[in-house]
Structure 1
Amino acid sequence: MRLVIDLDETLVNSVPTLAAAANVVLGELGRAPMSAEDYVAHVGWGMRAQIKGVLEATGGVPGGDVGPYLRRMIEVYAADPLGETRPYPGARAALELLVERGHALAVCTQKPEAQAREILERLDLVPPITGLTGAGTLDVLKPDPAMLHHAAGQLPGEAPVVMIGDSTVDAQTAQNAGVPFLLFAPAGRAKSADVPAQGRFAAWSELPDLVARLEAQAA
């Protein structure tokens, strides 16, 4: 199978790094910082949606234009996109096992492609990941299925495609592309409760067998 994986809050825990960048913007506005626990609710639709949501949650968007605050957040974040970002426990071992079983891996993310590539490379995840589509690769973002198709198109062969993610936008992307969706839903993540999926896994160690079951069902 060709497995297309979301990055933030699926493959890696990037919320502390993203929240730190947003908190610089909040600090410059004289506002209190937002905790990583609260910030996670804003992840999934891209950085513009993140900073817009954060500003709205802390007093509103000054002047009604999110543009200057988005540019400032991007500037801060781009200085060190890795920061405290780390793979979820067991992720690398699961990826390596999936490759051993003949699957190919790509990432499809709302994060700018250059920053996503830097994170993957600095975390030594390239390989096993060999494809990447991010913000700026195309002129659209998820849930436009073109994002998923582009990521899968970088992988060899014509094997069936599966989307793996953590959010409604990932599920919508898979649905729009007509492919199965597997949901990363670790314990305690409230936003996962109502996300439709063909399968769920709470830990990365569960994913290889979940993919095997999906593959068997499709045979």
Structure 2
Amino acid sequence: MPARVVFDLDGTLVDSIPTMADAGNRMLAELGRPPVSIEECARFVGNGVARLVERLLLCRGGLPGEGLDPAVARFRAIYGADPVTGTHAYPGVGEALARLADAGHWLAVCTQKPNAPALAILRGLRMMPPVTGFTGGDSIDALKPDPRMFRHAADQLPPGVELLVGDSLTDAETARAAGVPFLLHTRGYRTQSVAELPHDAAFDDFAALPELVARMLAA
């Protein structure tokens, strides 16, 4: 039975926090603000670029007098210039994606990250293909947990049973809103414990994911 397997990107397929933290710290430095740590930055991701920048600013002195928009634009420019350096796939991701595709499943990514840097990462890390569907933060007028983001990504794929693979509460809420099973990658950027996040299955090693998907489909 084929599946439409829709993945989150940051904290699920890739660890991109070092790159985002570097861009955020360069933006903060231009405003005369001290840097944040990678651990702090990891707590701020998952709700889109504007919320990330807002959280960075609030934890380092508050919003500037000119408001949020100029800082968001500056972060986008810095990050967009090179979103790949410093970002890497989690161990076993490439092999897991290949095995899922070889088993006849269809793969998509649904991410809050703006389209251009997200696509640069997927292509630069050679995930596209086997990933063929894509919905990013600029694709539609909605962000997760709005189920329209999931639907936009899934509907780019041939018919199949639908699953969402992610790492955060936002992803769990998206799966619930879309009415699909949620597979939790426990090595991502979650701030809650595994027990606190609603999920149908959990894994910390991508080598286990293809068999986990097969078990979910057989249940």
Q: Which of residues 77, 100, 103 is equivalent to 1:101?
A: 103
Count, aligned residues: 216
Deviates more, 1:29-38 or 1:44-53: 29-38
Q: How does 1:160-199 map to 2 (within 5 A)?
A: 160-186=161-187, 190-193=191-194, 194-199=196-201
The unaligned stretches of length 5 or more in structure 2 are none
Structure 1 residues 47 and 187: alpha-carbon distance in aligned structure 2, compared to 1, 3 A threshold: closer
* Greater RCO (CA < 8 Å, at least 6 residues apart): 2
The alignment partner of 1:135 has SS state of: coil
The alignment partner of 2:128 has SS state of: coil
Tell me how far apart the structure 1 counterparts of residues 163 and 104 of structure 2 sit (CA, whole Å). Answer: 14
Deviation at 1:206, TM superposition (A): 1.6
| Percent pairwise identity | 47
Tell me how far apart the structure 2 counterparts of residues 96 and 150 of structure 1 sit (CA, whole Å). Answer: 23
CA-atom RMSD in angstroms: 1.5
Q: What are the superposed Cα offsets for residues 98-157 of structure 1, whole Å, 9 maximum, x if unpaired?
A: 11111110000001112211111111111111110001111111111111011011111x
Letter in 2 for 1:89: P
TM-score w.r.t. the length of structure 1 is 0.94
Tell me how far apart the structure 2 counterparts of residues 128 and 187 of structure 1 sit (CA, whole Å). Answer: 22
Tell me how far apart the structure 2 counterparts of residues 32 and 209 of structure 1 sit (CA, whole Å). Answer: 45
The unaligned stretches of length 5 or more in structure 1 are none
Deviation at 1:63, TM superposition (A): 2.5
Tell me how far apart the structure 2 counterparts of residues 64 and 209 of structure 1 sit (CA, whole Å). Answer: 51
Q: What are the superposed Cα offsets for residues 153-182 of structure 1, whole Å, 9 maximum, x if unpaired?
A: 1111x2111011011111111111111111
TM-score w.r.t. the length of structure 2 is 0.94
Structure 1 residues 192 and 50: alpha-carbon distance in aligned structure 2, compared to 1, 3 A threshold: farther
Letter in 2 for 1:165: G
